Amino acid sequence: MRKKIFPVPKDQKKKFDTWNVLILEDDPHKTRMPAFEEKLSQIWAEMTHVETAHECIEIMKKEKFDWIFLDHDLGGEVFVNTDEENTGSEVARWMSKNWDRFEDSEVVIHSYNSAGAQCMQGHIPKAIYYPGIWNALQGRHKER
C-alpha cells in the first residue's frame, strides 16, 4: 500500500475538502499510476494505491473513500477470468456484501477487460465504467 497526499492550498481550505481516493491498480508497465498522480494532484486528494484484491479489501474495511478506482486484471495478468480471487471482481463481490460502507462513494472501474468490468458492474450497479479513466478525472473537486 502506498499513500500520497495532494493537499488543498491553505488559502482554499475553507472552500474545498480533500478527496480520499483508493486506487486498485497493478500497473505492470508503470504508466497508469503516474497518470493518476498527475490528475489527482490537480484536485487535492489523499491517494491510497493498492495492487492486490486482498490489500484493497483490507484497506476498505478500515477506511471510507470518496472515490474508488478499480482495475480488474491484477498481478500483471490480462483478461483474467472473473472467478479468480486476485481480481477486481473479487473486490466487487466483497463490496456488494458490504454496500452500506460505499453508498457515498463514487466507484469507477477503469479496466480494459470489458468482460471483467461488466461482471464488476453486476455486483456494483452504481459503478461507472471508463476503460481509460483519465478524462473522467478532469477538473473534479468537492466544493463545500
DSSP string over 91-102: HHHHHHHTGGGT
The grid coordinates listed for 58 are 483490507
Domain 28-43+54-144 has CATH 3.40.630.10: no
- Kindly provide the b/e burial profile for residues 22-54, where b requires at least 16 CB atoms within 10 angstroms of the residue's own CB: bbbbbbeeeebbeebeebbeebbbbbbbbbbbe
Q: Residue 60: is its pLDDT beyond 90?
A: yes
**Coil/strand/helix, residue 55:** helix
Give tens-digit pLDDT for 9-19: 556 656 566 78
Looking at this protein, which amino acid is placed at residue 93?
A: R
What is the band of 34 on the pLDDT scale with cuts at 50, 70, 90?
Answer: confident
Query: Is the confidence at residue 142, as pLDDT, over 50?
Result: no
Taking residues 33-53, report their average pLDDT: 85
- Triad 119, 21, 13: Cα angle to 5°: 150
Model confidence, pTM? 0.82
Alpha carbon separation from 86 to 12, 45, 71, 105, 132 (Å, rounded): 40, 26, 11, 22, 21
Average pLDDT, the chain: 83
In this prediction, residues 42-65 reach a mean pLDDT of 92
The closest alpha carbon to 57, from 25, 91, 26, belongs to: 91
Domain map (residue ranges) of the chain: 28-43+54-144
